[in-house]
């Protein structure tokens, strides 16, 4: 039952993310480049202290993450922020969910 609840929460979070992005970018409160930059910086600002709270031992330096991964995340965020102005909501959600699923399956087959 816990996995179902977590899956539903993840789907709700994805949908809320799309709606919030559309609200910010659709009303032209902020431009797509500034929005993506602010979004990624605020995420890092929260994730760094949260990662310090875990009880797990830290891996050796250089063993996780990469500049390539960071660049891919930036490209993904920027592309979707720019696309929100021209894509319909349904098409954007379909592309987003399809991309996320393909990435998770692809990484899962490499790791497993």
The answer on pLDDT for 112 being more than 60 is no
Domain contains 59:
no
pTM higher than the cut 0.85: no
Q: What pLDDT, in 10s, does the model give residues 5-64?
A: 988 898 888 778 778 887 888 777 788 889 889 988 998 899 888 878 876 776 666 666
Q: What is the pLDDT of residue 90?
A: 76
Mean pLDDT along residues 59-77: 76
Domain contains 51:
no
Mean pLDDT along residues 62-77: 78
Burial (Cβ within 10 Å: 0-12, 13-18, ≥19) of residue 105: exposed
Domain contains 57:
no
Domain that holds residue 103: 2-43+67-111
Number of separate domains in the chain: 1
Biggest alpha carbon–alpha carbon distance for the chain? 45
């Amino acid at each position: 039952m816990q996995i179902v609840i977590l899956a539903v929460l993840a789907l709700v979070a994805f949908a809320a993310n799309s709606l919030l992005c559309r609200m910010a970018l659709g009303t032209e409160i902020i431009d797509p480049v500034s929005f993506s930059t602010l979004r990624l910086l605020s995420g890092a600002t929260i994730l760094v202290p949260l990662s310090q709270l875990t009880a797990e031992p830290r891996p050796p330096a250089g063993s996780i993450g990469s500049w390539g991964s960071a660049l891919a995340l930036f490209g993904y965020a920027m592309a979707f922020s720019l696309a929100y102005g021209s894509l319909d909501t349904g098409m954007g959600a379909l592309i987003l969910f399809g991309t996320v699923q393909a990435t998770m399956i692809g990484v899962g087959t490499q790791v497993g």
